[in-house]
Amino acid sequence: MKTDRKEQLEKFIDVLGLSSFHNLLILDQALTHSSYANENKARHGYYNERLEFLGDAILDLVVGEYLFLQYPHMPEGELSKARASVVSETPLASVCAKFHMGDYILLGKGELASGGRTRASILADAFEAVVGAIYIDSSYEEARKFILHQLKEYLALVATGEYGKDYKTLFQEFVQRDGEQKIEYVLCREEGPDHNKTFYMEVIVNGKVLGEGAGKSKKDAEQHAAHEALIRLHAL
């Protein structure tokens, strides 16, 4: 492993607040997209899809266990709905955006050119892969602590009963709790070719920008913008 990549991974460990990684190659794999591996087969023969598979299973177990113990009277259908909401793409990608995970992911040239560093699906998949890497490198307990810490804001939504709602609805309800407000979602820029664009939307209330979000559709970008605004307003 090159020195600059080793230093980058060590910085990432610090950003996440993890104690250490015994095997940096596992973390490197978790942060390697298949597009990069395909372009660099001679010197980089691994990527994160297997770790993503493992991390997805661990994520379901940890969040399911937490909800089961935390809400002993919640019916099975509501438990499933709550878990699906917490581990969905939007929360995972939003968590990754907070510590700029995209800056640490190895991507192929095509993915880089089309805005892959901020693409929700790539970020969410990488989050799951990192969970799998923590489990392999350390233990289930360390993976569990990481998941519960990173997703605490979304787990808290379950207690309020708001987990089934999308972020635009939550945001609208929050800002209009004291009366009607003018809410606008404005496209501020686009990146990438026509067949694979990334859209950036701002949410504006009474002329003031409160959040910005990115997504592969304007609808997804609006959801991310509303989520960022809720966090800024300490509503989550």
Give catalytic status of residue 56 as yes or no. Answer: yes
- Residue 139 CB neighbour total at 10 angstroms: 11
Catalytic residue (one of 52, 56, 111, 202): 56
Which has the closest alpha carbon to 35: 113, 110, 128? 110
Give catalytic status of residue 28 as yes or no. Answer: no
Catalytic residue (one of 28, 52, 111, 128): 128
Give whole-number Cα distances, 90 to 14, 50, 76, 106, 154, in Å. Answer: 24, 21, 23, 21, 10
Give whole-number Cα distances, 165 to 73, 155, 157, in Å. Answer: 21, 14, 10
> Token pair 């793409």 is at which residue?
89
Q: What positions carry a catalytic annotation?
A: 56, 128
